[in-house]
Amino acid sequence: MSGEGAPGIVFRTMRYEDIPEVSAIEVESFATPWSEAAFISELTQNQFAQYIVMEYEDRLIGYGGMWIIIDEAHVTNIAVTSDFRGRRLGERLLAELGSRAARLGAERMTLEVRPSNVAARRLYEKFGFEAVGLRPGYYSDNGEDAIIMWSELPFRIAAGSSKEVENVEKGTAARGRD
């Protein structure tokens, strides 16, 4: 379990009993949220799936998921509950996903993000993600395209990023859909 250099923050593998809380964060975070059934399927039927939760003082405050396929990690979801946003916890969550992906043998990571989600794009760019393509009409709620982004692992965090994120990447210590 990571989080040593980050008082109060704990990362752990998502469990079945986390799904109601994860779903609540999903609903408040995304225009087209995944259902509880989708998360159940990911945890019980998808051999490539790796999902983690982020807790603070025993409260689930964020989660992230990815698929590890050979030497690539594809971020499926990443979100922090609304009352904990703006505290760089998304950075911590993405860093933890990247660290776990690298330990599992991934050499690169990919995700999709809405062009309109400027905050998420900036976060991903801090971690070395670069736009490499477009998926036209990817988002079903409004037909918005998705920017396809890739980064090498381990992450090379951009200059000026918080020291905490660098510590997570060194192991001392955050949706691809957007």
Catalytic amino acids? 112, 124
Question: Environment class of residue 141 by beta-carbon count within 10 Å: exposed (0-12), middle (13-18) or buried (19+)?
Answer: exposed
Q: What H or E segment, with its residue span, contains residue 66? A: strand 59-69
- Whole-number Å distance between alpha carbons of 53 and 55: 6
Backbone CA torsion sign across 118, 120, 121, 122: positive
Q: 37 by DSSP, 3-state: which?
A: helix
Token look-up 């995700």 returns 111
Specify the DSSP class assigned to residue 33: P
Q: Which residue has the tokens 């396809």?
A: 148
